[in-house]
A and B are shown apart, each in its own frame.
Chain A
Amino acid sequence: MPSVLPDGDPAPADGLLPASCAHEAQGRTMSFYVHIPFCTVRCGYCDFNTYTATELGSGSSQATYAATVSKEISFAREVMERSGQPHREIETVFFGGGTPTLLPAGDLVSVLGQIRRDFGLKPGAEITTEANPDSVTRESLQELADGGFTRVSFGMQSAVPHVLKVLERTHDPKRVPQAVAWAREAGLDVSVDLIYGTPGESLEDWRMSIEAALSYEPDHISAYALIIEEGTKLAAQIRRGEVPNIDDDDHAEKYQMADEMFAAAGFSWYEVSNWAKTPANACQHNIAYWKGGDWWGAGPGAHSHVGGLRWWNVKHPAAYQQRIDAGISPGHGREYPDAQAVQLERTMLLTRLSSGMQISELDATGRTKVAGLIADELIDAKAAFAGTLVLTQRGRLLADLVVRELLDF
């Protein structure tokens, strides 16, 4: 998640949710996101809420972090009960970062255990952790699998050393196939994450990265265009002219290349930036985000969405730990989007999915736009005839434009 928190109302110290959220939560899936805010180095492009040992300062530590975040999980159960939320077993858990695998596997397993104890896990629940290829071993991956994890997502980014250098990723690209093999051995589902459009990355470089990723035979691939976030080292380098700027046309070209190569290798897109070998391999946790499911985000800076309320925690691990130790909510700000905002969110999230959005969900103005979107080859005609709005490849690249059109912006 980006490190800059949105504007919103202050979150109350007791963390209680408005009564209306209890009603709204009915029938929604419940997930957990656990944020692990640690990295060995900060990558040049990254503005996520994460800290190296030197950035962290005193007042919080990796050693006690699992215990602290476990306390928030118990706090979550208490708050949800007191707010009249229906009891729901957890369908997906996602450990993200930072680098979750910087914590000992045992810590991650113990946090998962806390969720299991406090909420219960639905049978067949998807439990994912992000991992850096060089912070895992055969043993640590086995320990995660034994502890209930079902899926690991490796931050591969690129197979090309000079691209990794611009991104300041420290791993050796040769380490990735090894890590993937170990994960498979342990019985985990495997995803690899790629980043395209890094300054200096040629089309040929990108093709090599795609080929490498496919050769590891993962069952899921994410490919994200590099975003230059304000305040990152890379943004400063571009501003100073040391590194060329990124280019949307280059991104579009590379997206098309990836989509076609993934499809040829038997992967189907199920979200703008995600491809899966089979529908069962799609990341259920992310789908929950996009379909408007509920989740509690634990950890500093983590975002939550329960019963229509969105809130986010204080950002710094030290401030976070202080709140947790004092038994008060780590929530920093929150918002309760109104009907119009909810419609906007639903449209922008559902249209990202290959399952699409029901045309009947659009308002009258939105429905009049459908024919034009078909004519512009932005949405799939056949799906539209059947009542669903599904983006074409061109439409996926112009998804924001489609959303603006549907909402008559």
Chain B
Amino acid sequence: MSPLARTAQVPAATDPSLIRNFCIIAHIDHGKSTLADRMLQLTGVVSARDMKAQYLDRMDIERERGITIKSQAVRMPWESEDGTAYALNMIDTPGHVDFTYEVSRSLAACEGAILLVDAAQGIEAQTLANLYLAIEGDLTIIPVLNKIDLPNAQPEKYAAELANLIGCEPDEVLKVSGKTGEGVEALLDEVIKQLPPPVGDAKAPARAMIFDSVYDTYRGVVTYVRVVDGKLSPREKIQMMSTGTTHELLEIGVSSPNPEPTKGLGVGEVGYLITGVKDVRQSKVGDTVTNYLKPASESLGGYEEAKPMVFSGLYPMDGTDYPVLRDALDKLQLNDAALTYEPETSVALGFGFRVGFLGLLHLEITRQRLESEFNLDLISTAPNVVYEVMGEDKQMITVTNPSEFPDGKILEVHEPMVAATILAPSEFIGAVMELCQARRGTMRGMDYLSEDRVEMRYHLPLAEIVFDFFDQLKSKTRGYASLDWKADGEQVADLVKVDILLQGDQVDAFSAITHRDKAYSYGTMMTSKLRELIPRQQFEVPIQAAIGSRIIARENIRAIRKDVLAKCYGGDISRKRKLLEKQKEGKKRMKMVGRVEVPQEAFIAALSTDEPKKK
């Protein structure tokens, strides 16, 4: 083994047998980025001086949240123990369930995966899910325990857990510390030894799979590909096989980790393409790139259109920010092909957008980026899922917004379902079962991973987990449980739309589609929340929850009877004027619903899961 390769393999001229493509599967805070940084340093592609902590996580927000959203690939030279120079491609994978499809494409670009687990915490549900995808994709798995330098590390215990899980011996589990660098060189040697080299037909028409595409302000879209067959060369014309669109290759190269143009990319190689395209939707993850002049007859397969699972209305607090929000979404979409949106108007919230997300984390990240990168203050409505609804006319319509729910008699409502996997210490089995039952879940199985850790599998409506399920799960298991889910068909359910009315006026932002059994509790929850949140007005304000024309819950905000300073002496005049001037500032943050003044805080508080603040 050597800290630095003396000779490096040249891209476009590297024999596939000298290439190893791998990714790292890890839970959010199990130290993937630190390990990756250490590898970049040890292989010499980044000097210690240039080393920014967690080099691969470029976006600020990723660093802030400690998670990886966008994957990239880095080519690193490494010499085996016998002195042969290899090229290692490390493909970064997103770590979160919202990005399962992107994960699956990243995995498809590799022959092997490092399964990285925190030696103090053990494996988590999301890791299990990704591990499953890797095993299903026939990847070679190298089990590794990280953070062995921690005082509370239990490498023996978790080595046994991993060995049991993937069917190896506990002593085959490598032990490293990304922080101190211990064991990392040995790990790189094992990557060369254990992983099979890529295999492909160099003479066939090119087939390269897109596993990521990123928008760069200066370069346009940067597309990351793994070449399976054939070769891609600079200046040639390429074709996207899903759409048939063609582009000229302005630049082709590898990242190590800065982009370095090359003479092309051959079988088994991983690198980037630049075509001058400005929109990531032109370069879709999972698509196959081929030569225009000598196109492949069949794509690599596995391509799926990104499908939003969760929808939420996003509205600017300040109505004049609407154009800013529109521009911001346009910009984000350049970098996020999964983001969909269309304009929407809410009586209560004004102009905004109905935005589709892959999941709740995707929603949160997008919202946070809009607020921090574009300086927007946003209100987001309660997230909902997509329903298929059949009205009296027997027509099936797709409902992504409660306002689209048809009035009148409903014959059938179909809701999306998920298969959820929950890992938790066994002492919390009861608590988890209780929660899942309350969320209309059906248990599908339960296995002990070790003596005190259990994996529970549930079939649950997606709608039941998009709001606060994860928070509830965490609080009921003192933070120990982890959750993974994937889409799993649909079911017919007795769902209704609950409307909230303020003084007879429907507040569209508060409408929700819920199971009939839960309509009443949603109605009473929302009406009593609003009663606390909306200040008294000069007239009585009834707050009602209704299914169609049937009122299911009602609260009243009594009319305010006194709003005057009783005494107003000479000396009070300045003070009282200033009091009124202050109230003027407060008024700016009011929205009118009919004649009712609703503070913006009330919308935010009512739409959040937190306890309402006292008005």
Q: What is A's interface to B at a CB cutoff of 8 Å?
A: 1-2, 4, 6-8, 33, 96, 224-225, 227, 248-249, 251-253, 255, 272-273, 286, 289-290, 295, 297, 301-303, 305, 310, 312, 335, 337, 341, 344-345, 348-349, 352, 376, 378, 396-401, 403-404, 407, 409
Contact = CB atoms under 8 A, between A and B. Distances in A.
Contacts of A273: 566-568
B562 interface: yes
Contacts of A252: 561-562
B570 to A, nearest CB: 5
B549 interface: no
B578 interface: yes
A399 B563 contact: yes
A397 B570 contact: no
Contacts of B561: 248-249, 252-253, 397-398
Given A341-B577, A376-B538, A312 B571 contact: yes
Query: Which of A301, A400, A403 has the most chain B CB atoms closer than 10 A to its own CB?
Result: A400
B570 A349 contact: no
18 contacts: A2-B572, A2-B575, A7-B578, A225-B567, A227-B567, A248-B561, A252-B561, A272-B566, A289-B569, A289-B573, A295-B570, A310-B573, A312-B571, A337-B577, A341-B581, A348-B577, A349-B568, A400-B565
A345 B578 CA distance: 10
Contact of A297 (B558, B560, B565, B570): B570
A289 B571 CA distance: 9
B580 interface: yes
Contacts of B152: none
Contacts of A400: 563-565, 580, 583
A242 B317 CA distance: 42
Interface in B575-615: 575-578, 580-581, 583-584, 587
B217 interface: no
B574 interface: yes
Contact of B580 (A2, A33, A224, A404): A404
Given A272-B564, A398-B560, A1 B574 contact: no
Contacts of B569: 1, 96, 286, 289
Nearest to B567: A224
Interface in B521-558: 538-539, 558
A1 B571 contact: yes
Given A352-B568, A398-B538, A345 B583 contact: no
Contacts, number: 113
Nearest to B564: A399
Given A6-B574, A251-B562, A401 B538 contact: yes
A249 B562 contact: yes
A407 B583 CA distance: 12
A397 B562 contact: yes
Query: Which of A253, A286, A399, A407 has the most chain B CB atoms closer than 10 A to its own CB?
Result: A399
A403 B580 contact: yes
B563 A398 contact: yes
Contacts of A297: 570-571
B583 A409 contact: yes
Contacts of B563: 248, 397-401
Given A2-B571, A297-B570, A376 B562 contact: no
Contacts of B584: 404, 407, 409
Contacts of B572: 1-2
B570 A305 contact: yes
A348 B571 contact: no
Contacts of A349: 568, 573
A224 B571 contact: no
A134 B226 CA distance: 98
Interface in B106-144: none
Given A1-B572, A349-B573, A378-B538, A224 B560 contact: no
Nearest to A35: B571
Nearest to A193: B567
Query: Which of A7, A303, A305 has the most chain B CB atoms closer than 10 A to its own CB?
Result: A303
Query: Which of B560, B577, B578, B584 has the most chain A CB atoms closer than 10 A to its own CB?
Result: B577
Contacts of B583: 400, 404, 409
A48 B581 CA distance: 23
Nearest to B568: A352
Contacts of B578: 6-7
Given A6-B574, A397-B564, A401-B560, 13 more contacts: A290-B568, A297-B570, A303-B574, A344-B577, A352-B568, A378-B538, A397-B563, A398-B560, A399-B564, A400-B564, A404-B583, A404-B584, A404-B587
A303 B570 contact: yes
A308 B250 CA distance: 73
Contacts of A251: 562, 566
Nearest to B575: A6
A290 B565 CA distance: 14
B567 A255 contact: no
B560 to A, nearest CB: 7
Nearest to A333: B574
B566 A227 contact: yes
Minimum-distance CB pairs A-B, first 3: A1-B571, A252-B561, A303-B571
Contacts of A225: 562, 566-567
A290 B567 CA distance: 12
B571 A302 contact: yes
A398 B564 contact: yes
Contacts of B570: 1, 33, 289, 295, 297, 303, 305
A403 B578 CA distance: 13
A90 to B, nearest CB: 15
A303 B577 CA distance: 15
B446 to A, nearest CB: 51
B571 A376 contact: no
Interface in B157-209: none
A345 B577 contact: yes
A6 B581 CA distance: 14
A19 to B, nearest CB: 22
Nearest to A293: B570
Contacts of A6: 574-575, 578
A229 B573 CA distance: 16
B394 to A, nearest CB: 48
A350 to B, nearest CB: 12
A157 B532 CA distance: 35
Contacts of A4: 575
Contacts of A310: 573-574
A348 B574 contact: no
B576 A348 contact: yes
Contact of B581 (A96, A248, A301, A344): A344
Contacts of A399: 563-564
B562 A248 contact: yes
Nearest to B581: A344
A248 B560 CA distance: 8
Contacts of A303: 570-571, 573-574
Contacts of B558: 249
A224 B572 CA distance: 14
Nearest to A335: B574
A227 B538 CA distance: 21
Nearest to A304: B570
Contacts of B560: 248, 398, 401
B566 A398 contact: no
Contacts of A33: 570
Nearest to A401: B563
Query: Which of B565, B567, B587 has the most chain A CB atoms closer than 10 A to its own CB?
Result: B567
Nearest to B539: A376
B562 A255 contact: yes
A8 B539 contact: no
Nearest to B574: A6
A346 B522 CA distance: 48
A145 B538 CA distance: 46
A2 B303 CA distance: 74
Contacts of B580: 344, 348, 400, 403-404, 407, 409
Contacts of A253: 561
Interface in B73-99: none
